[in-house]
Structure 1
Amino acid sequence: MHCPNSGQLGEDLVAQWLQSTGWIILHRRFSSRWGEIDIIAQYDGKSGEPKQQSQHSLLNTQHSILSTQHSVLSTQHSLLAFVEVKTRSSGSWDAGGRSAITPQKQAKIWRTAGMFLAQYPDKADYSCRFDVAIVYCQRISKNLTGVTASEEAVATSSVAGYKFKLQEYILAAFDSSIDNG
């Protein structure tokens, strides 16, 4: 890939797309001794802000109980996505990045996700999944003549003479039974 910073630009596209679909980006390139996770995103699964209880009608103890119940209810619908982004040119040797996600790579990401959850215990009760984003990068030709057909992209961006296409977003791409020993 001759495009400078193609990996980061691919991650930028995926992060922007996730945000446009309601996700909150918590971290980019979160790293631990085990490895790195390209994007960690959170989705709350609720629309709008929850209505606040009137404190005038509640005793402090009742308010505390309701706050705890609200906290439990709001995290039940929260979801964390640990996203691995693979940015490749169209003729890449590794099936567009799919074959680069080996069981060893999955285990490293899984362990790094564990480190994230240990660092942020308030998110430990969230549902978690491991997604993979496949981004294609191609140079934009100034001498393009004719029409070229291509698969429909989930999202696209153009930067410095290159076009980036989020070609595929694979939900829950990792098997949850990865050996973590």
Structure 2
Amino acid sequence: MGLNEYLFGISSEDIASRHVKNEGYEILDRNFSSKFGEIDIIAKKDEILHFIEVKATKGEYEAIYRLTPAKFEKILKTIDFYLLQNGLNSDFQVDLITIENNNIKWIKNISL
């Protein structure tokens, strides 16, 4: 990954984090990583944990297609690790935020 792609990813995650905060969620962690993978944003609202993957694109394809089944499996393993590491036993869901041409779409409680 080149510097431009890295900076684009960081910028997209910043935009998504602001959006999440503006919707009344508390950001608990960003870029949580384990040997299994990484979770872009971990937020909480109404006692539900939200593990949020951020996908953005400048291209002509939809960002949603950048979340592959393999990536989703890594997210689930990382969630298990996060919950275990923090001694949590709470309700959670996996969300996806896509950013395309400055349009933000939040898809909640996804599964593949």
Task: Note whether the superposition's TM-score is higher than 0.5.
Answer: yes
Within 2, Cα distance between the matches of 1:7 and 1:165? 15
1:23 positional shift: 0.5
Report the counterpart of residue 128 of structure 1 in structure 2. 92
Provide the aligned length of Structure 1 versus Structure 2.
Answer: 110
Contact 2:63 2:100 in 1 (8 A): no
1:100 positional shift: 1.9
Report the counterpart of residue 68 of structure 1 in structure 2. none
Aligned-pair Cα RMSD in Å: 1.8
Identity %, equivalent residues: 29
Report the counterpart of residue 81 of structure 2 in structure 1. 115
Within 2, Cα distance between the matches of 1:171 and 1:19? 15
When normalised by structure 2's length, the TM-score is 0.88
Report the counterpart of residue 165 of structure 1 in structure 2. 103
Within 2, Cα distance between the matches of 1:4 and 1:103? 22
Contact 2:96 2:106 in 1 (8 A): yes
Report the counterpart of residue 40 of structure 1 in structure 2. 42
SS at match of 1:5: helix
Poorly superposed stretches of 4+, deviation over 4 Å: none
When normalised by structure 1's length, the TM-score is 0.56
Structure 2: state its 5+ residue gaps: none
Report the counterpart of residue 32 of structure 2 in structure 1. 30
Within 2, Cα distance between the matches of 1:104 and 1:22? 31
Contact 1:89 1:96 in 2 (8 A): no
Structure 1 or 2: larger strand share?
2
Report the counterpart of residue 88 of structure 1 in structure 2. 57
Task: Mark the CA change 1:4 to 1:128 in structure 2 (over 3 Å): closer, same or farther.
Answer: closer
Task: Mark the CA change 1:111 to 1:3 in structure 2 (over 3 Å): closer, same or farther.
Answer: closer
Structure 1: state its 5+ residue gaps: 46-77, 138-163, 176-181
Within 2, Cα distance between the matches of 1:18 and 1:10? 12
